[in-house]
C-alpha cells in the first residue's frame, strides 16, 4: 500500500471517515485502477451500513483485478451479508480455483454449509481450513459441526485444541460440558459449565445446562445464593430446580422465585385492555388455558377431565398451545375445545396481543416454571384475571398472576400464604383431579408373610430422590434389615451412583432393588412387587402418588411446610388415609415400622384402596368442575 493510502487508512482508524472518503476519491481520479483504494472505500461503506455501495465498489476493483484473492474474499463477505448467497459462493469458488488451500475461503464455505445443516460439506471445508490455519474460530466451528454430525469423540479433541488456544473460551467450555453430560459424566460437566459461567457471566447455554443438571440428577447446592451468583436474572428452569433441593428452606426458594419474577418483568409493560364486563346471566365467560403439555402428560390428562366437565353454557374454552407433542390425548383435547391456537412460533408480545384480542376473561397457566412455559406472556397481562394451577408446585413469582388454585391440605390457611406472589384460592377438598391409567392392570394385594421380605418402593422420577430422602430412607432400612427398597433408575451410571449413596449410609446392597424406567404397563406392574410406597421429600409425588393408590399401594409421606412438600398429605387426606401422613422424620420412621409389623392390617387397607379412590374428591369430576367454575365466575364478578 502506498504511503498516501497509509495516511488515509490512519484517517479511517481515527474516525475521520468524510475526509478519508474525499481523499480516496481524489486518489482514484488519478489512479482509477488502484484496487486497494476501492477496498478502503468499500470498508468505509460497510462502516456506515451501506452494503450495496460496498458491493459496487468491490465489483469495480474486480473488473481491474478479477483474480485478486483478497478482493474476492471481501466481496464474498459482503454478498453473504446482503443475503445474496449464489454470488457469495461464486466468489469463494473463484478463490479456491486460484488457491485451493486458501483457509479463509474454506472457513467461509464451512460456515455457509454449517448454517444450512449440510454437515458433510461443512466438515470438508472446515477440516481443510483447520489444516491451513487452526485458529480458535475455525476449530470452534469445526467442533460444533462434529457435534451436529454425532461425532462426539472427534469433537472433544477439537474443543480441547480450542482450550489450548484460550483456556477460558466460554463457548468451548459449554460444548465440552455437553459432551460430558451425554456420557453421564455429571461432575465434570458441572465443572465445565461453571467455568463457562465464570468466563462469560450470564452465558445462557451454561445456565440452562446447570439448571438441567440440578433438575435431572438432584445434585445438591449449598444455598440459594449459589444460584443468584450465576446470573442477575435467575432463569426459569433453574428456579424450578430449586424445588428439588432438600438443603434450602421454603422461604429461600420463594425468594428466588420472586427475584426471578421481578428481574424478568421489570421492563415489561402491561397491555391496555378494553373495558369488558361479560354478562354472567347471558354471555359465556372466555377461559384461556396456556401450556405446552396438552398431550399424554399429567397436565394433558388433567385438562381433558376439566374440559369435559366445565359447563359449556357458561364457559367458552380457548387453548393456547405452546408446542405440545401430538398424541391421542391431544386429539381428545382438540375435540373438546373449539378454539385451539398455536403460540409456539409467536413471541411473547405477539402471543399476549393475540390473547387480548380474543378478549379472554380468565387466563389460566398450566405450566408454572416447567418446560415450554410462557410465563412472560402472563407478565404482559393480556387478561383481566390470571390464574396458575396444577402444573407447578410453587409460586410463579409473577405479580401479574393474580391467583393460584390450591386446597386446605397442601396449603393450610395461615401457613403458606407468605410464600406466594399470587393470592391463594382454597378449593374445598382438592386442587386437582386424577385420571387413572387405562392399562388393564389390576392391583395385587396378597399380603407378604412375616417370612417374606417387606418391600418399600418409590416409582417417582429419580430426580426427586434428594439427599434428605436418602438420609431418611437409609435410617429406615438400617432399622429394618429384612426390608428392601425398590426404586427407578435412569441408566446404569445413575444406578451405580444410587448404590454408592446408600452404601455411604451403611445400607446393605441387597436391600436395594433398582429397576429401569419403562413403559406404562411395566411401570404399573412394578407396583405389584411393593408393599408400601415412600413419598420423596421435599418434592412429593403428585400423579405418581395417585397411581400408587389406584394400584392398591399405600403411600407414606412426611408433610412439610409448603405445597411442594405437602402434595402427599393432600392426596392422602382426600382418600381418608391420614394415618399415612407423618408430622416429622421420627414419626415417619415409627409409622413405617408399625405398618411393617402389621402386614394383615396393611393388606386390608390395600384391598380397599381402589374403591376409596373412586369415591374420593380426586375422581369426582363433576363436583370439581362445578366448584372451579364457580371460582372463575366469582373472580370476574369482582372486577372493577
Tens of pLDDT along 357-374? Answer: 999 999 999 999 987 899
pLDDT at site 243? 85
Average confidence score pLDDT of the chain: 88
pLDDT at site 2? 58
- Residue whose C-alpha is closest to residue 128's, from 136, 138, 137: 138
* Across 215-224, 332-341, 431-440, least confident range: 215-224
pLDDT at site 500? 92
Backbone angles phi, psi at 50, to 5 degrees: -100, 80
Instruction: Decide: helix, strand or coil at residue 365.
Output: strand
Q: Please report, for residues 53, 394, 411, the alpha-carbon distance to residue 421 in angstroms, rounded to integers and kept in the order given.
A: 55, 10, 14
pLDDT at site 12? 78
Residue pLDDT, tens place only, 323-358: 888 889 999 999 999 899 999 889 999 999 999 999
CATH number of 1-99: 1.25.40.10
Cell triple for 316: 367458552
Q: How confident is the model at residue 447 (pLDDT cuts 50, 70, 90)?
A: low
Whether pLDDT at 4 is above 70: no
Beta carbons within 10 angstroms of residue 441's beta carbon: 17
- Mean pLDDT along residues 28-34: 79
Q: Positive or negative, the Cα torsion across 515, 520, 525, 531?
A: positive
Q: How far apart are CA 456 and CA 527, in angstroms?
A: 10
Q: Which fold has domain 285-426?
A: Rossmann fold (3.40.50)
Domain pair 1-99 / 455-619, same fold: no
Q: How far apart are CA 477 and CA 243, in angstroms?
A: 25
Whether pLDDT at 222 is above 70: no
The CATH class that applies to domain 455-619 reads: alpha beta
Whether pLDDT at 278 is above 70: no
Q: Please report, for residues 161, 163, 294, 473, the alpha-carbon distance to residue 135 in angstroms, rounded to integers and kept in the order given.
A: 9, 11, 47, 53
Instruction: Decide: helix, strand or coil at residue 451.
Output: coil
Q: How far apart are the first and last CA of the chain?
A: 75
pLDDT at site 208? 67
Q: How far apart are CA 362 and CA 375, in angstroms?
A: 15
pLDDT at site 479? 97
* Across 245-254, 299-308, 452-461, 471-480, least confident range: 245-254
Domain range annotation of the chain: 1-99, 285-426, 455-619
Q: Please report, for residues 3, 70, 419, 459, the alpha-carbon distance to residue 33 in angstroms, rounded to integers and kept in the order given.
A: 17, 16, 74, 78
Whether pLDDT at 533 is above 60: yes
| Spatial CB neighbours of 464, under 8 Å, sequence gap ≥ 6 | 218, 244, 536, 539, 541
* Across 114-128, 415-429, 472-486, 574-588, least confident range: 114-128
pLDDT at site 9? 77
Q: How confident is the model at residue 225 (pLDDT cuts 50, 70, 90)?
A: very low
- Mean pLDDT along residues 10-21: 78
Q: How far apart are CA 65 and CA 529, in angstroms?
A: 82
| Spatial CB neighbours of 383, under 8 Å, sequence gap ≥ 6 | 273, 288, 355, 356, 360, 361, 362, 363
Residue pLDDT, tens place only, 376-412: 999 999 999 999 999 999 999 999 999 999 999 999 9
Cβ atoms 292, 373 nearer than 8 A: yes
> Which pTM does this prediction carry?
0.69
* Triad 567, 375, 390: Cα angle to 5°: 20
pLDDT at site 433? 97
Q: Positive or negative, the Cα torsion across 338, 342, 346, 349?
A: positive
- Residue whose C-alpha is closest to residue 7's, from 35, 29, 46, 36: 36
- Mean pLDDT along residues 308-330: 93
Amino acid at each position: 500500500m502506498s504511503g498516501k493510502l497509509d495516511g488515509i487508512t490512519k484517517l479511517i482508524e481515527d474516525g475521520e471517515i468524510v475526509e478519508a472518503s474525499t481523499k480516496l476519491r481524489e486518489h482514484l481520479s488519478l489512479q482509477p485502477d488502484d484496487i486497494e483504494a476501492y477496498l478502503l472505500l468499500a470498508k468505509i461503506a460497510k462502516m456506515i451500513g451501506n452494503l450495496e455501495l460496498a458491493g459496487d465498489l468491490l465489483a469495480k476493483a474486480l473488473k481491474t483485478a478479477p483474480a485478486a484473492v483478497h478482493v474476492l474474499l471481501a466481496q464474498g463477505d459482503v454478498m453473504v451479508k446482503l443475503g445474496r448467497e449464489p454470488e457469495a459462493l461464486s466468489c469463494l469458488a473463484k478463490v479456491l480455483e486460484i488457491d485451493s488451500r486458501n483457509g479463509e475461503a474454506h472457513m467461509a464455505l464451512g460456515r455457509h454449509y454449517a448454517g444450512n445443516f449440510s454437515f458433510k460439506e461443512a466438515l470438508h471445508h472446515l477440516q481443510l481450513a483447520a489444516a491451513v490455519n487452526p485458529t480458535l474460530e475455525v476449530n470452534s466451528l469445526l467442533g460444533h459441526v462434529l457435534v451436529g454430525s454425532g461425532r462426539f469423540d472427534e469433537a472433544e479433541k477439537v474443543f480441547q485444541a480450542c482450550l489450548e488456544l484460550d483456556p477460558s473460551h466460554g463457548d468451548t467450555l459449554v460444548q465440552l460440558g455437553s459432551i460430558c453430560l451425554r456420557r453421564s459424566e455429571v461432575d465434570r460437566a458441572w465443572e465445565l459449565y461453571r467455568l463457562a459461567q465464570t468466563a462469560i457471566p450470564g452465558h445462557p447455554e451454561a445456565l440452562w445446562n446447570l439448571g438441567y443438571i440440578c433438575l435431572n440428577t438432584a445434585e445438591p447446592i449449598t444455598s440459594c445464593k449459589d444460584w443468584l451468583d450465576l446470573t442477575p436474572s435467575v432463569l426459569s428452569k433453574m428456579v424450578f430446580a430449586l424445588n428439588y433441593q432438600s438443603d434450602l428452606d421454603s422461604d429461600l426458594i420463594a425468594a428466588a422465585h420472586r427475584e426471578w419474577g421481578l428481574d424478568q418483568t421489570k421492563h415489561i409493560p402491561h397491555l391496555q385492555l378494553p373495558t369488558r364486563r361479560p354478562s354472567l346471566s347471558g354471555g359465556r365467560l372466555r377461559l384461556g388455558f396456556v401450556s405446552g403439555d396438552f398431550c399424554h402428560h399429567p397436565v394433558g390428562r388433567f385438562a381433558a377431565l376439566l374440559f369435559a366437565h366445565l359447563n359449556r353454557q357458561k364457559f367458552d374454552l380457548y387453548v393456547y398451545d405452546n408446542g405440545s407433542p401430538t398424541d391421542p390425548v391431544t386429539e381428545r383435547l382438540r375435540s373438546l375445545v373449539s378454539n385451539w391456537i398455536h403460540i409456539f412460533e409467536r413471541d411473547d408480545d405477539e402471543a399476549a396481543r393475540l390473547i387480548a384480542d380474543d378478549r379472554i376473561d380468565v387466563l389460566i397457566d398450566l405450566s408454572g416454571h416447567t418446560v415450554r412455559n410462557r410465563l412472560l406472556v402472563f407478565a404482559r397481562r393480556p387478561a383481566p384475571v390470571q390464574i396458575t394451577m396444577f402444573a407447578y408446585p410453587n409460586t410463579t413469582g409473577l405479580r401479574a398472576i393474580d391467583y393460584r388454585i390450591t386446597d386446605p391440605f397442601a396449603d393450610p390457611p395461615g401457613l403458606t400464604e407468605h410464600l406466594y406472589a399470587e393470592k391463594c384460592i382454597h378449593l374445598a377438598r382438592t386442587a386437582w383431579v386424577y385420571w387413572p391409567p387405562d392399562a388393564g392392570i389390576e392391583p395385587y394385594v396378597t399380603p407378604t408373610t412375616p417370612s417374606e421380605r417387606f418391600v418399600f418402593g418409590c416409582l417417582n422420577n429419580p430426580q426427586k430422590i434428594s439427599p434428605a430422602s436418602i438420609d431418611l430412607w437409609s435410617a429406615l432400612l438400617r432399622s429394618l434389615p429384612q426390608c428392601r427398597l425398590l426404586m427407578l433408575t435412569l441408566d446404569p451410571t445413575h444406578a451405580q451412583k444410587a448404590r454408592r449413596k446408600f452404601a455411604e449410609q451403611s445400607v446393605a446392597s441387597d436391600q436395594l432393588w433398582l429397576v429401569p424406567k419403562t413403559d406404562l404397563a411395566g411401570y404399573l406392574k412394578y407396583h405389584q412387587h411393593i408393599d408400601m410406597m415412600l413419598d420423596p421429600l421435599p418434592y412429593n409425588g403428585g400423579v405418581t402418588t395417585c397411581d400408587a393408590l389406584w394400584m392398591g399401594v399405600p403411600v407414606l409421606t412426611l408433610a412439610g411446610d409448603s405445597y411442594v412438600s405437602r402434595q402427599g398429605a393432600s392426596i392422602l387426606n382426600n382418600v381418608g388415609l391420614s394415618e399415612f401422613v407423618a408430622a416429622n422424620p421420627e414419626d415417619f420412621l415409627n409409622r413405617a415400622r408399625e405398618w411393617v409389623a402389621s402386614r394383615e392390617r396393611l393388606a386390608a387397607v390395600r384391598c380397599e384402596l381402589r374403591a376409596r379412590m373412586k369415591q374420593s374428591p380426586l375422581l369426582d369430576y363433576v363436583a370439581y368442575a362445578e366448584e372451579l367454575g364457580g371460582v372463575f365466575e366469582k373472580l370476574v364478578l369482582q372486577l372493577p
